[in-house]
Amino acid sequence: MIWGNLGKQLSSILGGGKIDETIYEELETGLLTADVGINATTWLLNTLRKQAKRDGFTDTTQLKETLKEALFALLVPLVRPLDSSTEKPFIIMFTGVNGAGKTTSIGKLAHYFQSQEKSVLLAAGDTYRAAAREQLITWGERSNVLVISQETNQQQKGDPAAVIFDAINAAKARDIDIVLADTAGRLATQLHLIEEIKKIKRVISKASPGAPHEVLLVLDANTGQNAVSQVNAFDDALGVTGLILTKLDGTAKGGVIVAIAMQRQQNPIPLYFIGVGESIQDLRPFDARKFVNALFD
């Protein structure tokens, strides 16, 4: 479901027949519907037209490989493995809007790092919602990972920066490899909440100079083009170092990552992981080739 119905549309459009303006119009509609975005769609169609003219393409099937490689060329700058070996504890701070899937992604990422034989500690920095803390504790129990929450810090209850500060110190005391710090969901337009998360970042730096070592923005693929503006807003506020794109198993909006790649060509932010299902194993490192191939399989 990564691409929704676009794969079926492309199979129909590029399944054979004469190349004419109608074909390009149908491709444009399909790409825009999948949230590839106007700029990326225009670039892709221009690339197809140029190569078709240069190489004398006459049949739509000849366009398929060109489209495939053009998409791959856009996405491959986003491919970079998340290297957590440079510091100990390696501290990752998570941010994003409400409902994007931060807490779930943290739970799955804990499992991912454990599978690499890394020790993990979770910081329940979303102190606004008791449900978020409980959800993180449940994920911690699944993976047998320690969770530091506001309940372990009664004196400063409700202060997310204090909870995360305590978690970092706990990780140091226990010789933990990785700290995953949850934060409350917020819109980039909620200036008081943006100031709060800037404070959290400063406190993390005081607890461990040079940290956080990664600031990950979690994006819900269902938000479509709105995800592009989220990247810009959170990057301006925090200096986002990586992305996680969730809920690709139930959306027709997977193309939004192409829109993000197009906009960030001069300053690409790596897409470290994509969420493709509900199970604990369903957060996977982003593979541009597999992602594009899924469109044509």
Q: Residue 130's pLDDT is what?
A: 82
- φ and ψ at 173, to 5 degrees? -65, -35
Q: Residue 2's pLDDT is what?
A: 66
Q: Residue 249's pLDDT is what?
A: 82
Q: Residue 128's pLDDT is what?
A: 85
Which sequence spans correspond to the domains of the chain? 6-78, 90-286
Q: Residue 252's pLDDT is what?
A: 58
Write a three-state SS string for 128-152: CCHHHHHHHHHHHHHHCCEEECHHH
- DSSP secondary structure string, 42-82? HHHHHHHHHHHHHHT--BTHHHHHHHHHHHHHHHGGG----
DSSP state of 280: T
Q: Residue 34's pLDDT is what?
A: 87
Q: Position of tokens 């070592």?
A: 213
Sheet holding 283-285, edge to edge: 146-148, 120-123, 178-181, 90-95, 214-220, 242-246, 271-275, 283-285
Question: Cα(86)–Cα(287) distance, rounded to whole angstroms?
Answer: 23
Q: Residue 151's pLDDT is what?
A: 62
Q: Residue 81's pLDDT is what?
A: 95
CATH architecture of the domain formed by 90-286: 3-Layer(aba) Sandwich (3.40)
β-sheet bridge partners, residue 215:
93
Mean pLDDT, each 10-residue run in order, the chain (297 residues): 76 92 95 92 97 96 95 97 97 96 95 96 92 91 92 60 96 98 91 92 97 97 91 96 91 82 96 92 94 85
Q: What is the pTM (predicted TM-score) of this model?
A: 0.94
Strands 242-246 and 178-181: unpaired
**Amino acid letter, 182:** D
Between helix 256-263 and helix 38-55 the angle, nearest 10°, is 90
- φ and ψ at 242, to 5 degrees? -165, 160
Q: Position of tokens 């110190």?
A: 169
Class of domain 6-78 as given by CATH? mainly alpha
